[in-house]
Chains A and B, each alone.
Chain A
Amino acid sequence: MIDTTRNDEVTDDDIQRIVDGTLDPERHAEIVARIAQDPERLERVESMIAHNAALKEAAAALAPYEDDPAETDPRTRELTEALTARLEAGIAARQSWRARLPAYTRNAAAAAILVAAGWFGHSAHDYANAPYPGYVADAAGAHLVFAEDQQYPTEFSAETLNLASGWFAEKLGREVPPPQLDAVGLKLVGARLLGSKDGPLAQYIYEDDAGERLSLVVKAAATDRPRAPAYRTLPQGRASYWRDGGFEYALISRYADQSLHGSITEVSRALLARRI
């Protein structure tokens, strides 16, 4: 670390901004003058500036912007074109999807809307270090290990899941109909039972049209008291969890995209709509 103790007015942030040239000119001059009082520190900062410049130059040399289209990897070119087409199509598709939305949100009573509102409140403040229940960590681990597995993601496929419903009910302590999330474009791939220190967990794996997978993990709750959804970023992905109707739920997606807020919210709403 840069030693700032000898001159406490120069912070690490100031130094980064000097390296990137993002300080306003007055402040820049002031900080440089302070840094210059210490030749050793001055040399360190100048090295950082040189290294930063070297990285810029190397990047430009390794992948010039003036790419000859003929030199571009054909698959990259295809994918780039496909992405352009999908982004355009996506805009149109979302518009029509939005139009369908009221059909099932109508089914969700005001309570669900209130929960969803609480949900949005949570999502704005993602307390990375806040504690979360152990089963959420287990759920995230299970998602990482199983959900992306193309060969054997589940013990029971969606088609054979009804054969195992008795076993699931026995382990979870009560009947759990697999949550159907077709209304939000998520197809049930299948499910598996997992052991955890908090007891058995059922992991339902869903897939959207684009093949992106999401896990819904369900366990019996110790209380019937509901808890509004909370939201966490975990090392394995994003998680939301809540309690409702005697079950604890956790939704996990590895996809760390802000727009996941939307998907999870829709899933929460669909589940709540089913319950009401």
Chain B
Amino acid sequence: MSRQDLSEQITGHVTSLRRYAMVLTRKPDEAEDLVQDCLTRAIAAADRWQPDSDLRAWLFRIMHNVFIDNVRKKRVRDAAQSAIAEPAEPPAQPVRVELRQVLDALHALPEHYREPIVLVAINEMSYADAARVVDVPLGTFMSRLARGREALRRVVGGRKGPHLRLVS
């Protein structure tokens, strides 16, 4: 792999990481912090990356750890302060109101449901790869994906979506 290829690959992966972080957090600043923490840890662990392994999956595993650590820290912080619901900041780019509804509903789910849904949706990652990213057996992953999607559907309130040619 040439230096140019590697550099392009990484730049693409960083955008994927940002997408992931944006969808998970809905907050540009928080998302950028997650991406930067992830990159910092990746730099620290660079020696352990096997050149023949999947770089994107490796970066997403690190991102998953960063995200989970942040959730834990936030929980400690929230427990310390009085728990006042934080309003979501407006996103950097405006998104359609239907999309916002789904993003907000996603945010209401526990993180162990949120992550599988987002990993599969935005990365088109195989279930097996995504299960490795969140470090659970495939069966557990599939069950979380199913429960998560069902929960998301309930939170959105059964909003009738477009019939995407499921039945013609």
Residues of A within 8 A of B (CB): 1-2, 12-13, 15-16, 18-20, 32, 35-36, 42-65, 67, 73, 75-76, 79-80, 82-84, 86-91, 93-94, 97, 128, 209-212, 233, 254-260, 262-263
B99 touching A61, Cβ below 8 Å: yes
**Smallest CB separation, B57 vs chain A (Å):** 9
Pick the residue among B3, B103, B158, B160 that contacts A58 (CB under 8 A).
B103
A16 touching B145, Cβ below 8 Å: yes
**Smallest CB separation, A260 vs chain B (Å):** 7
Whether A44 touches B23, Cβ cut-off 8 Å, given contacts A86-B43, A210-B43, A260-B48, is no
Cα distance A51–B93 in the bound complex, in angstroms: 19
Most chain B CB atoms below 10 A, which of A45, A59, A210: A59
Complex interface: chain A residues within 8 A of B12 (CB)? 65
Q: Report the count of interface residues on B (CB-CB < 8 A).
A: 78
Complex interface: chain B residues within 8 A of A73 (CB)? 32, 36
Cα distance A187–B63 in the bound complex, in angstroms: 26
The number of A-B residue pairs with CB atoms under 8 Å apart is: 200
A48 touching B153, Cβ below 8 Å: yes
**Smallest CB separation, A1 vs chain B (Å):** 6
Interface of A is mostly: helix
Whether A82 touches B164, Cβ cut-off 8 Å, given contacts A54-B99, A58-B23, A257-B61, is no
Whether A128 touches B137, Cβ cut-off 8 Å, given contacts A15-B146, A46-B164, is yes
B146 touching A80, Cβ below 8 Å: no
Residues of B within 8 A of A (CB): 3, 6-7, 10-12, 14-15, 18-20, 22-23, 31-32, 35-36, 39-51, 55, 58, 61-62, 64-65, 91-93, 95-96, 98-100, 102-103, 105-106, 117-118, 120-122, 124, 127, 132, 135-137, 142-143, 145-147, 149-150, 152-153, 156, 158-164, 166-167
**Smallest CB separation, A143 vs chain B (Å):** 13
Pick the residue among B7, B51, B61, B102 that contacts A55 (CB under 8 A).
B102
Cα distance A51–B40 in the bound complex, in angstroms: 32
Known: A48-B153, A49-B161. 7 other contacts (CB 8 A): A46-B166, A57-B95, A64-B93, A79-B40, A83-B42, A87-B6, A257-B58
Interface of B is mostly: helix
Whether A210 touches B35, Cβ cut-off 8 Å, given contacts A56-B121, A62-B22, A256-B65, is no
Pick the residue among A43, A60, A80 that contacts B39 (CB under 8 A).
A80
Cα distance A209–B35 in the bound complex, in angstroms: 22
A63 touching B152, Cβ below 8 Å: no
Cα distance A73–B31 in the bound complex, in angstroms: 11
* Beta-carbon nearest neighbor of B69 in chain A: A254
B22 touching A210, Cβ below 8 Å: no
**Smallest CB separation, A19 vs chain B (Å):** 7
